[in-house]
Amino acid sequence: MRVVQSLVLTADTAVDPTDHVIQEGVLSDVPIGRLETGEVREFETPLCFVACGRFRVQVDARAMDGAVRDAKVGSATLKVVVSEDNPP
């Protein structure tokens, strides 16, 4: 029998390469809160890219309670291409 439990989650965001990104605030251990099975939660993390190029944004969700303490339970990757706008 499978036991369904809610999890208290935090998120870690990493941007690569980091040399050309300015962020305000923290990118690790961002509290997401308690989620029940099948529940979805969104959160925003503002980023400012100060250079053109290709960037990779990785977000990992971690459980913070019970037997799976600090276990990665989910992840997402976003590939960002920043290009210079040419004014008309």
User: Concatenated DSSP letters for 9-46?
Assistant: EEEEEEEESGGGEE--S--SSEEEEEE-TT--------
Looking at residue 55, what is its pLDDT? 93
Q: Is residue 57 part of a domain?
A: yes
Looking at residue 70, what is its pLDDT? 60
Q: Is residue 59 part of a domain?
A: yes
Looking at residue 78, what is its pLDDT? 94
Exposed / middle / buried, residue 64 (Cβ in 10 Å: 0-12, 13-18, 19+): middle
Q: Is residue 49 part of a domain?
A: yes
64 has pLDDT over 90: no
Q: Is residue 2 part of a domain?
A: no
Q: Which pTM does this prediction carry?
A: 0.75
Q: Is residue 38 part of a domain?
A: yes
23 has pLDDT over 80: no
How many structural domains is the chain composed of? 1
**Could you give the percent of the chain with pLDDT greater than 90?**
28
| pLDDT band of 60, cuts 50, 70, 90 | very high
Looking at residue 67, what is its pLDDT? 55
Q: Is residue 71 part of a domain?
A: yes
Q: Is residue 1 part of a domain?
A: no
- Domain of 62, in residue numbers: 7-82
Q: What is the pLDDT of residues 26-56, one digit of tens each?
A: 888 899 999 888 888 888 888 888 888 999 9
